[in-house]
Chain A
Amino acid sequence: MQPFTLNYARPAVQLDVTSPYAYDSGLQLNVLPDGRIAATDHVTLRALGTTTSTAGSKTHFDD
């Protein structure tokens, strides 16, 4: 009784990644522990894939 499409499903990859940045409500930006703005640190963003198109989002269809 499984829909045809689900024959092609695979387990979702559970990313066990802790973001090294935290939201600063004063700046309205995420900042790194050393005070730098996270969005300017492309090395970190690439490593985390936080800006990447990601299939399987729980809350958003649009990637």
Chain B
Amino acid sequence: MTVLILTSEEDVTADMVVLRLGEAGVPVVRLDPADLTNGVALSGEYVQGACRGHLSVGGRLVSMNGLRSIWVRRPGTPAARAVQPSTWLTEESAQALYGMLRWSDARWMNHPDAARRARHKPWQLHLAQRSGLPVPATLITTFPQAARRFAERFPDLVVKPVSGAHPQEPPRAVPTSRVAPDADFSAVAFGPTLLQRRVAKRADIRLTVVGGTLLAARKPADPDAHPDDVDVRFAPSVSPWQPVDVPPRVAEGVLRYMADAELAYGAFDFAEDADGIWWFLECNQSGQFGFVEMDTGQPIAAAIADWLAGRPGPDDGRANGDRSAAS
């Protein structure tokens, strides 16, 4: 039985998992849907009440029925590198590939339906609340007056994109940013705006969940950092990520979140405040993990490989190796 990995060739983070699977002797087929019809081929037939399908790439041929798991890591747009790409061909290729994969018995990390839903950050905030995770007071609105009133109630706010996406015309980045005390909220009317109470954090937390395995890392905030340096992705790094135990209540909430979201993999971001409370910020269903593994030595790639191979991980059901932490 084969593990199918859908990702781009340059995805070196996926390589970390391919290596582990190779060491374990687990067959792997890796392909990028962008190469469909130009290096990647597929076929499926529905005859006499049965479905059979095959995928081919680089001289490898795998049966849809021979897949044990599918890792949707960083796949390209289907047929984007076809000889004559088009929107129509992309849709045809997406329907053919993902439509056939959906009837395989393989388990997914993560299933496309669950992944699509999990990308909605407003939904994430609600699910986090329902899962018992602390969520900073948040407002998403196009009403300027609602924004003004929210700012009166919570004077120290940050703003960030609702979708997490960044504008491309022209290419710009929109980091999580502190809202000026005298901000004019009139422009809230021109686009949904996500305002959130700023957590005065003493550390950022990245909690990677693989099946039932929880691996948390902590990066202390720079005590001399300016309060406007909110977004860890843009702030200067003063400390590496370090392993940290997961508080039992957080572990319970996160596992509840994963179950309700029907996710096998998730990368949670929290802000830790001065009282040690982990405030939920978001859960990236395909979040990067290589940088955490390299800093902390935590076996995230191995945990993913174990899950894809269908083996319970050595830490499955545990948080950072502490069995009591998640119980």
Chain A residues within CB distance 8 Å of chain B: 1-14, 19, 21, 23, 25-26, 28-30, 37-40, 42, 45-46, 49-63
Contacts and interface: CB of A to CB of B under 8 A. Distances in A.
A46 B28 CA distance: 26
Interface residues of B, number: 59
Interface of B: 9-10, 12-13, 15-16, 18-19, 28-30, 57-58, 74, 76-77, 119, 147, 159-168, 170-175, 177, 185-188, 190-194, 206, 231, 233-234, 267, 284-291, 293-294
Given A23-B10, A29-B19, A52 B290 contact: yes
Nearest to B144: A4
Candidate in A14, A26, A56 with the most chain B CB atoms within 10 angstroms:
A56
A4 B288 contact: no
Q: Would you call the interface of chain A mostly helix, strand, loop, or mixed?
A: loop
B290 A40 contact: no
A63 B288 contact: yes
Nearest to A12: B171
Contact of B291 (A11, A19, A37, A53): A53
8 contacts: A9-B173, A11-B172, A29-B19, A40-B19, A51-B12, A53-B233, A53-B287, A60-B74
Contact of B187 (A2, A29, A42): A2
